[in-house]
Amino acid sequence: MVPAAKTVEATSTFALSIPRTRPFSGADIAWLLARGDWSFATGDVASARFLFERGVDAGAARAAMRLGETFDPVYLHYSHLRGLRGDPGMAVFWYRRARDLGATGVANRLERLATIEGRD
């Protein structure tokens, strides 16, 4: 039996290594987000980030938000995944990218992270 992390890696690598002759569809983006969410929930943060990055490449603001969350120290604290350290700078980078792609509700996250970075 193949471990879950290997399955995600193999599936995502195979699906995303095929040369794209068309833009990502809404279904493609939904798949990337769902698979990224599942990977994150199971503790495979590297695969989640990879999948979310592909979503950002396709122009999905939601993917940029989720990618920012994988670096956000406050979000990670509440995710209950052990051993993960946040990176406020990376979270800010991806939240700004989400804002640039049209995401709403990013301002509060950016303000909160500015407060965290100011304490360091």
Question: Model-level pTM greater than 0.85?
Answer: no
Quick: pLDDT tens for 44-86.
999 999 999 999 999 999 999 999 999 999 999 888 888 888 9
Tokens of 107: 């301002």
* Burial degree of 91 (CB within 10 A; 0-12, 13-18, 19+): buried
Candidate CATH numbers 1.10.1040.10, 3.40.710.10, 1.25.40.10, 3.40.50.300; the one for domain 24-119: 1.25.40.10
Average pLDDT, the chain: 84
CA dist 84 and 61 (Å) reads 24
Residue 88's Cβ-side half-sphere holds a number of Cα atoms within 13 Å equal to: 13
